[in-house]
């Protein structure tokens, strides 16, 4: 299994296919396995790189380091440097989409295109129920996810520690300003389910803020919807994926 030395982490990633680079970023507490059914479609046209962020999947947590979206984005930029990828299209789900937004804001030269599903740019972009869950859930009481127990090098006992660090981040982040969103130069596709934990109103707000962005609201869909053909068409149009 491939790992890269990234800012002191042994960061797990996997590669599939050949062509222009396409970086896949999973959601919070998730793994690259979220994309397992989609990778064959994308790998037929792209060099797909599916990474696992700090504390997620096969990448260990480093409790001496802060846990913020910006830190995860800096790790991702460093992974790209280590792999010799100057620019890439990025497909991010949920927290992975937030990391992708941070990359597009702080490392615009590295981002060719953005496709984001179920991602928010402010904490209050979540539904009220989701915001309340984020404030009230008990990391000690949450059962260990099957993927975490199976993959994490930190072991199941670290699960509540990891969740507590995530909870602190989720309480106040993300918090991108309107000016930051307006600065995004990469062509952007925003995907949201009409029953997502990210409200359609927030998706429209970002659609209005990010220049030239596209919005896809998927009917009868919840958090994590991944309309593969729509995303693939977006990534390939108008010179998408140019190195």
For residues 161 and 243, what is the distance between their CA atoms, to the nearest angstrom?
39
- Taking the complete model, does pTM exceed 0.85, yes or no? yes
Domain that holds residue 51: 3-239
Instruction: Quote the distance between the C-alpha of residue 112 and its chain's center.
Output: 15
Contacts of 21 (CB under 8 A, 6+ apart): 46, 47, 49, 85, 87, 88, 89, 241, 243
Per-residue pLDDT 10s for the chain (243 aa) are: 699 999 999 999 999 999 999 999 999 999 999 999 999 999 999 999 999 999 999 999 999 999 999 999 999 999 999 999 999 999 999 999 999 999 999 999 999 999 999 999 999 999 999 999 999 999 999 999 999 999 999 999 999 999 999 999 999 999 999 999 999 999 999 999 999 999 999 999 999 999 999 999 999 999 999 999 999 999 998 744 332
Specify the CATH number for the domain of residue 79: 3.40.50.1820
pLDDT given for residue 238 in this prediction:
73
Q: 3-class SS at 176?
A: coil
Number of structural domains (the chain) is 1
pLDDT given for residue 243 in this prediction:
29
pLDDT given for residue 48 in this prediction:
98
For residues 79 and 183, what is the distance between their CA atoms, to the nearest angstrom?
24
């Amino acid at each position: 299994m491939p790992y890269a030395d990234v800012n002191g982490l042994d960061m797990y990633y996997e590669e599939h296919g050949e062509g222009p680079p396409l970086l896949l970023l999973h959601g919070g507490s998730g793994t690259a396995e979220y994309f397992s059914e989609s990778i064959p479609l994308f790998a037929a046209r792209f060099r797909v790189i599916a990474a696992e962020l700090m504390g997620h999947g096969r990448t260990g947590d480093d409790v001496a380091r802060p846990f913020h979206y910006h830190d995860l984005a800096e790790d991702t930029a460093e992974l790209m440097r280590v792999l010799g990828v100057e620019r890439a299209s990025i497909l991010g789900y949920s927290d992975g989409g937030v990391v992708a937004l941070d990359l597009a804001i702080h490392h615009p030269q590295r981002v060719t295109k953005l496709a984001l599903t179920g991602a928010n740019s402010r904490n209050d972009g979540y539904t009220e129920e989701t915001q309340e869950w984020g404030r009230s859930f008990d990391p000690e009481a949450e059962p260990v996810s099957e993927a975490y127990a199976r993959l994490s090098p930190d072991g199941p006992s670290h699960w509540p520690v990891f969740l507590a660090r995530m909870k602190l981040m989720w309480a106040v982040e993300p918090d991108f300003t309107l000016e930051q969103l307006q600065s995004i130069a990469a062509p952007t596709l925003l995907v949201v389910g009409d029953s997502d934990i990210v409200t359609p109103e927030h998706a429209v707000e970002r659609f209005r803020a990010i220049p030239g962005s596209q919005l896809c609201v998927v009917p009868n869909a919840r958090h994590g919807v991944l309309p593969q053909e729509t995303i693939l068409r977006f990534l390939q149009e108008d010179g998408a994926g140019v190195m």
